[in-house]
Structure 1
Amino acid sequence: MNWHTGRLCGFDLETTGVDIETDRIVTACVVQCGGGQPTASATWLADPGIDIPEQASRVHGITTERARADGQPAGQVVEQLVAALSQIVLAGIPLVAMNARFDLTTLDREARRHHVYPLADTVGDQLRVIDPLVLDKHVSRRRGSRKLADLCQHYDVEIGDAHTADADAIAACRIAWRIGSLRPELAALPLAVLHQQQTAWAAEQARSLADYFRRTPGKEHQAAGVHPEWPLIPAQEVRRDR
């Protein structure tokens, strides 16, 4: 059985912003699908402990007031997320995450912030990730945006209510399945090899993006923010008062 026809686990976060070092988790979804088994989904709503900017609320629909009224304390959500994902990874199921570098690094920083043992430290070298963004950039040289909605359109995948964690997580799995179906040479790779290959492809893609920023007037400063590491940017010193 190739990986795209086996069990997959979609993982997605909606957050207070896009800074992995300071922004917080607002909603999360872990959805297992495929492999001839029923779909199983779990979602979380967190009180992030800080105000949710209006711009972020417009994207995912969660206001500060709703998060405070209905959300679990952030530390509890992070602990439950890490526990759920650890169990899945150790069962040999790959995590499918669109732009995994963002979601997994954000979860890592939240774990450290709330004194939860991080996922990467828990599962070690058992982590296997499938990133539709990395795969798509590798197989297609087309120009234009590669946001989740764009990939859904390109691969003829329904997304449902975009920018909700559950819809985005299942859409990422569908795109991964579609890429595996269209590219048998990728589908045939063992998960460990595919993970290793994506690490190299993501680094190459990051270098290309940084080079683009450096040679584009007005964007030169953005090159410093491009990280080659994948699927997780290693932690530096994380301030506990953030």
Structure 2
Amino acid sequence: MILALDTETTGLPLWRAPSSDPAQPHIVQLAALLQSGPDAEAGSMNVIIRPDGYDTMPAEAFRTHGISYERAMDEGIPRADALDQFNALLEQAETLVAHNIDFDSRLMRIAYQRAEKAPSRENLPKFCTMAASLRIVNLPPTPKMLAAGFNKPKPPQLKECIAHFWGEELDGAHDALVDVRACARLYWHLQSLGVAA
């Protein structure tokens, strides 16, 4: 049983700072999908988390996911409630899946720390669909990567993987529910190809 997850956030994590640093970003939307096979959904969640610890939505974050501070205040649920929903799904999972799992895992650690909660299961095997598809999609390095001395394939965005494998556009990208469904689809496809994480 896999649990695919995706987060939309107020920004990028401060990788060198501890998860307890108040400057760390916040999760704005959390979606997760529990599946035992490509079309076998065992549970899901999709929530907006009410702002707690910030009072504006950074402009770049809003441009990315389209969730305003006002919408998050109106539609959001408390962080602790969102984590309780996630934990209920996590209890049934055997593998945690995400596209750029390091990013989503870090944001979840930050959220758990802020809520003074713990994951219902720890040390699950993780599968990163971005890392697993890197050499298959094989995108050229960006000029920024080359300038920094990295001459290896660019990590593919989820929408680039969908275009590569299915020739489709990912409509609604950066909505956590859309992204988590696409990520799960990609995971099962990579499994059918025998690709390891």
TM over 0.5: yes
Give, in angstroms, the shift of residue 148 of structure 1: 1.2
Q: Is the 8 A contact 1:79 1:111 kept in 2?
A: no
> Per the alignment, in what secondary structure is the counterpart of residue 172 of structure 2?
coil
Gaps of 5+ in 2: 142-153
What are the residue-to-residue correspondences of 1:94-113 with 2, within 5 Å? 94-113=95-114
Give structure 1 regions of 4+ aligned residues with deviation exceeding 6 angstroms: none
What are the residue-to-residue correspondences of 1:80-95 with 2, within 5 Å? 80-81=85-86, 83-89=87-93, 92=94, 94-95=95-96
Aligned: 1:37 with 2:13? no
Q: Is the 8 A contact 2:4 2:98 kept in 1?
A: yes
Aligned: 1:16 with 2:10? yes
Q: 1:3 matched to which residue of 2? A: none
Give, in angstroms, the shift of residue 42 of structure 1: 1.4
Q: 2:158 matched to which residue of 1? A: 148
Q: Is the 8 A contact 1:54 1:63 kept in 2?
A: no
The worse-fitting range, judged by mean Cα deviation, of 17-26 and 154-163 is: 154-163
Gaps of 5+ in 1: 1-6, 187-193, 199-242
Aligned: 1:123 with 2:116? no
> Per the alignment, in what secondary structure is the counterpart of residue 80 of structure 1?
helix
The worse-fitting range, judged by mean Cα deviation, of 50-59 and 149-158 is: 149-158
Q: Is the 8 A contact 2:8 2:174 kept in 1?
A: yes
Which of 168, 172, 175 is residue 186 of structure 2 equivalent to? 175
* Bigger fraction of residues in strand: 2
TM-score (norm 2): 0.77
TM-score (norm 1): 0.64
Q: 1:165 matched to which residue of 2? A: 176
Give, in angstroms, the shift of residue 88 of structure 1: 2.4
Give, in angstroms, the shift of residue 39 of structure 1: 6.0
Give, in angstroms, the shift of residue 139 of structure 1: 4.6
* Bigger fraction of residues in helix: 1
Q: Is the 8 A contact 2:137 2:161 kept in 1?
A: no
Relative to structure 1, is the Cα distance of residues 37 and 151 closer, same or farther in structure 2, using a 3 angstrom cutoff? closer
* Percent identity (aligned): 26
Q: Rg larger in 1 or in 2?
A: 1
Alpha-carbon RMSD across the aligned residues, in angstroms, is 2.2
Q: Is the 8 A contact 1:158 1:171 kept in 2?
A: no
Give, in angstroms, the shift of residue 73 of structure 1: 1.9
Aligned residues: 172
CA distance in 1, matches of 2:42, 2:91: 16
Relative to structure 1, is the Cα distance of residues 85 and 102 closer, same or farther in structure 2, using a 3 angstrom cutoff? farther
Relative to structure 1, is the Cα distance of residues 155 and 109 closer, same or farther in structure 2, using a 3 angstrom cutoff? same
